[in-house]
Amino acid sequence: MLTSSTMRETAGTQGNDFKKDQAALLQELTTESQNEASQGFDTKSALDIARIINHEDAKVAAAVKRAIPEIAQVIDQVARCMREGGRLIYIGAGSSGRIAALDASECPPSYSTAPGQVQYIMAGGPKALASAVEVNEDSEELGQRDIARRRPTRKDIVVGVSASGRTPYVVAAVAYARARGAHAAAVTCNQGTPLAAAAEIVIVADVGPEVISGATRMKAGSAQKMILNMITTGAMTRLGYVYENLMVNVHMQNSKLVERGIRILMCACKIDREAAVQTIKSAGRSVPVALVMLKAKVDKPEAVRRLAKSDGNVRLAIEDNAMEL
């Protein structure tokens, strides 16, 4: 029978082993390694500092390029999920979580997505966007609890974002969602990580060591932002919220966006400003409705009907012959 002192001793030994395991894992991570290009960084002039950072940043696009096949898989899966009424749910911690929150927050104004279609979960909650609450990222229980509150289903895709690929909060949340039938993807900057093991599709942007060792808000953060931008932009385009290369599903809530909508109509339909303004007014300030009205030469009710039939896909609504409406 174990005494209380023996139990404390055993717990202490297990805790030490855990810390050793974590230390070993960190040492193996590329993002935690020292960068030879920035040796003696603290002795450099401002000009040299800027040049070194810029030289390292130039490697980011190439690292993302190597992950394009996996990025494309996630784009298609997000589009499929959203087409079936599901959600894209990002989950992250620290810098990775803040980047995910930014991408999710940009979708409603850019593509008129419903607030629930693209979501983010941040370790520590919304307050962690502005204040450091990094202690939460070590908790598997909190990760499971936070994703459980969103009730993930087979219609959803959960994307875990973690530069290290080992953040317990994120790994546990992704594993929980996948166990309940949701699709799961990982965005990381290290190979062979626990997050990769928890996901179906793994996007690895191996950007190499940071200029400041472990400062993953730098190259790793830039890579993650590029990847998440590609995922949502690609998915929204596949859903038909982009016509040609124009953001036609723009939500005209301020003067800048109203002007953008007018210019989109002028460009897509080769009309003058007055005609664009009048059509947008008659379309109820909806650029997609106005575009279908002009391109298909139909009235507003017909344009609305076509867009409803095509699930908001503007090109399909315009090219109506194949839809048998």
SS3 string of 69-90?
A: HHHHHHHHHHHHHHHCCCCEEE
Structure tokens given for 308: 């409803």
Q: Hey, how many other C-beta atoms are within 10 angstroms of the C-beta on 155?
A: 16
Quote the DSSP letter at residue 182. Answer: -
Per-residue pLDDT reduced to its tens digit, 8-50: 343 344 344 434 455 556 667 887 877 788 888 889 999 999 9
How far is the C-alpha of 289 from the C-alpha of 310, rounded, in Å? 12
What mean pLDDT is predicted for residues 151-177? Answer: 96
What per-residue confidence (pLDDT) applies to 15?
40
User: Burial, 16: exposed, middle or buried (Cβ in 10 Å; 0-12, 13-18, 19+)?
Assistant: exposed
pTM of structure:
0.86
For 185-215, b/e burial (b = at least 16 CB within 10 A) is bbbbbbeebbbbebbebbbbbbbbbbbeebe
Q: Which domains does the chain have, with CATH numbers?
A: 57-238 (3.40.50.10490), 255-323 (1.10.8.1080)
Q: Write down the mean pLDDT value for the chain.
A: 88
At 20 the pLDDT is 43
Q: Determine the average pLDDT of the residues in 242-247.
A: 92
58 Rama class: left (phi>0) / alpha (psi -120 to 50) / beta: alpha
How far is Cα of residue 306 from the mean position of the Cα atoms in its chain? Answer: 30
- Please say whether the beta carbons of 293 and 279 come within 8 A: yes
* pLDDT tens track for 248-291: 988 777 888 889 899 999 999 999 999 999 999 999 999 999 99
User: Which residues lie below 8 Å from residue 306, measured CB to CB, with a gap of 6+?
Assistant: 292, 296, 298, 317, 318, 320, 323, 325
Measured CA to CA in angstroms, residue 272 lies from 162, 244, 263, 267, 275 at distances of: 47, 19, 9, 9, 6
Catalytic residues: 106, 137
SS3 99: helix
